[in-house]
Amino acid sequence: MDSRLFVAEEDAKRLDVFLSERMEETRSRIKKLIDGGRVEVNGQKVKAGTEIRAGDEVHVEIPEPAEYSVRPENIPLDIVYQDGDIAVVNKPQGMTVHIGNGNTEGTLVNALLYALDSLSGIGGVLRPGIVHRIDKDTSGLLVVAKNDRAHVSLARQIAEKSCHRRYLALLEGNVKADSGRISTDIGRSPSDRLKMAVLPEGRGKAAITDYETLVRYGGEYTLCRFTLQTGRTHQIRVHAKYMGHPVVGDPLYGSRRQRFELKGQLLHAYELELTHPATGERMRFRAPLPAYFFEVLETLARQYGGDDWAEILGREGRE
């Protein structure tokens, strides 16, 4: 057990903010410690919103990390970049990020435990190294933390919106606006617990997505670029449906009649921009469209014409 004591030198903010400024832990991790009774102020268990006063003694107990309960698996992995602090991975469609909901093997975490020499422990024994996620049937880039200091830095960048995550998606129908911002609350659908939904203000968590129209295909389909400002579950897919233009191939939010034989939605996390946790260098990574996505766009271009999407994006090319 790691035991730490902090003495407030002056009146401070909330307890969770006070600790987040002094510990290499994420705000969510700190809240779990507080809620779990592992934080005391002047000998008393308190809540995360407790205001800290000058002279207060804050005692924190951090349990020893448990051994990984996830089995390493030799699964082919497209590692775009790796050093001693981070790894950037291009996840294929069909791979779940971490164990849960009946998935006990074949996940990205299983592959990471085999392929990498270390992973951060902040995410817990089932999510080592995982700072952010993308859906099972969404392809593209994720950054993985190889130590706790990198994990805290990356989580903070995501919270402060300085880590930019951009996606490409083919949508059903003609998106009329050239660009825009969708700002809603998103939460669990009251009618279908497998789905997320746009909810009345205050009923869910704030979700903000920026979009830009790249290519329109005969009024039938639209290729869009999305930039996440928040990271809610299924955010782009829910916001696309909310626009009236669900992602092509989406089994949960798309239309039942699909023209193309797909195994999931045409949604790809193609660009990731971040500040390196150790060096401070600003870094940008891109992943080419998967072959099945590329082939659909080629089919639409032959049928409807339109601008060259690859030229617009700077010739990403194909796999």
Per residue in 246-268, pLDDT (tens digit) is 999 999 999 877 889 899 999 99
User: Is 72 among the domain residues?
Assistant: no
| Rounded Cα distance, 222 and 174, in Å | 6
User: Is 318 among the domain residues?
Assistant: no
User: Is 115 among the domain residues?
Assistant: yes
The answer on 57 and 150 residing in a single domain is: no
Grade residue 308 by pLDDT with cuts at 50, 70 and 90: low
SS3 64: coil
pLDDT at 80: 96
pLDDT at 69: 64
User: Is 94 among the domain residues?
Assistant: yes
User: Is 135 part of the annotated catalytic residue set?
Assistant: yes
* Window from 10-19, 227-236, 291-300 with minimum mean pLDDT: 10-19
The answer on 114 and 44 residing in a single domain is: no
Of residues 16, 135, 148, 250, which has the active-site annotation? 135
The answer on 296 and 218 residing in a single domain is: yes
Give the DSSP H/E element, type plus range, for residue 196: strand 196-199
- Identify the burial level of 49 via C-beta atoms within 10 angstroms of its C-beta, where 0-12 means exposed, 13-18 middle and 19 or more buried: exposed
The answer on 38 and 9 residing in a single domain is: yes
The answer on 170 and 297 residing in a single domain is: yes
Contact 15, 48 (CB under 8 A): yes
Which of these three, 62, 92, 114, is where a domain ends? Answer: 62
* Window from 164-168, 273-277, 307-311 with minimum mean pLDDT: 307-311
The answer on 182 and 142 residing in a single domain is: no
User: Is 73 among the domain residues?
Assistant: no
User: Is 68 among the domain residues?
Assistant: no
Q: Which of 231, 62, 32, 228 is nearest to 131 (CA)?
A: 231
Contact 262, 290 (CB under 8 A): no
Domain CATH code at residue 285: 3.30.2350.10
pLDDT at 319: 42
What's the domain count of the chain?
A: 3
User: Is 274 among the domain residues?
Assistant: yes
Given a cut of 70, is residue 187 above it in pLDDT?
Answer: yes
| Rounded Cα distance, 22 and 28, in Å | 14
Looking at the DSSP assignment, which residues form a beta bridge with residue 91?
A: 140
The answer on 228 and 94 residing in a single domain is: no
Looking at the DSSP assignment, which residues form a beta bridge with residue 142?
A: 89
Per residue in 56-108, pLDDT (tens digit) is 888 888 876 555 567 889 999 999 999 999 999 999 999 988 766 556 688 89
b vs e for 150-169, b when ≥16 Cβ sit within 10 Å of the residue's Cβ?
Answer: bbbbbbbbbeeeebebbbbb
Domain CATH code at residue 58: 3.10.290.10
Give the DSSP H/E element, type plus range, for residue 223: strand 221-228
Grade residue 316 by pLDDT with cuts at 50, 70 and 90: very low
Helices (H), the chain: 15-20, 27-35, 108-115, 148-159, 235-243, 291-304, 309-312
Grade residue 318 by pLDDT with cuts at 50, 70 and 90: very low
The answer on 249 and 177 residing in a single domain is: yes
Instruction: Give the mean pLDDT of the chain.
Output: 87
Task: Work out the end-to-end distance of the chain between its first and last CA atoms, rounded to an integer number of angstroms.
Answer: 47
Per residue in 124-165, pLDDT (tens digit) is 666 788 888 899 999 999 999 999 899 989 988 988 889 999
Per residue in 29-42, pLDDT (tens digit) is 888 889 888 898 99
User: Is 42 among the domain residues?
Assistant: yes
Which amino acid type is present at position 261? Answer: E
| Rounded Cα distance, 211 and 225, in Å | 6
The answer on 280 and 206 residing in a single domain is: yes
The answer on 280 and 196 residing in a single domain is: yes
Which of these three, 115, 136, 159, is where a domain ends? Answer: 159
The answer on 51 and 84 residing in a single domain is: no
The answer on 130 and 176 residing in a single domain is: no
Which of these three, 127, 159, 191, is where a domain ends? Answer: 159
Residue 102: which domain range? 79-159
b vs e for 5-16, b when ≥16 Cβ sit within 10 Å of the residue's Cβ?
Answer: ebebeeebeebb
pLDDT at 314: 56
| Rounded Cα distance, 44 and 201, in Å | 35
| Rounded Cα distance, 31 and 256, in Å | 41
Per residue in 194-251, pLDDT (tens digit) is 889 999 988 888 999 999 999 999 999 999 999 999 989 899 999 999 999 999 999 9
pLDDT at 309: 63
